[in-house]
Amino acid sequence: GVENYFSLLGSEANKIEPKKRPLSSMTPTIVFEDDEVRLITGAQGGGRIITAVLQIIINYFEYKLSPELSVSTNRYHHQWFPEKLYYENFDDKTLRELKKLGFKLEKRELEDYYSNGITSTIIIEGDKIIGISDPRLDDYSSAGSSAD
């Protein structure tokens, strides 16, 4: 098949036809911790959606990054077909190591509309509700609480 705008290979199974549902990677996600909502996120970006959402969750809960850094930190996405690793602004040492491991690399500019997924995220920290817009798109997010 031929790569589409999202670098996905088309196939007969995904061909647009009447009465057929389109393939989607939509991943609206709500993360709970101790029965409390802690993070809500979703993305646009075709096959990169799932990777972008997962990296935000890992950045915030595992790496303990701030809400803003959890969203804005450089991302990567591995596309199985064609076999490429798309990346944003990795340092030379990391790129050399990835090449040694046999990865085929392709840089995505942050200004590229879909780079590695565009996300909208809300993080709840205690009584604070924080809206974070993805800096990869000229947009904004806000969140508030009626408890004030």
Q: What is the pTM of this model?
A: 0.78
Helix (H, G, I), strand (E, B) or coil at 98: helix
Both structure tokens of 53: 């959402």
Q: What is the pLDDT of residues 82-97, one digit of tens each?
A: 788 989 889 999 999 9
DSSP string of 65-87?
--HHHHHHS--EEEETTTTEEEE
Rounded to an integer, the average pLDDT of 107-132 is: 83
Within 10 angstroms of residue 84's Cβ, the number of other Cβ atoms is 16
> Using 50, 70 and 90 to split pLDDT, how confident is the model at 80?
confident
- HSE at residue 89, side-chain half, CA atoms within 13 A, is 10
Domain limits, the chain:
24-133
Report pLDDT digits (tens) over 24-74: 777 899 999 999 999 999 988 878 888 999 999 999 999 999 999 999 999
Query: What class has domain 24-133?
Result: alpha beta
Tokens of 112: 């590229």
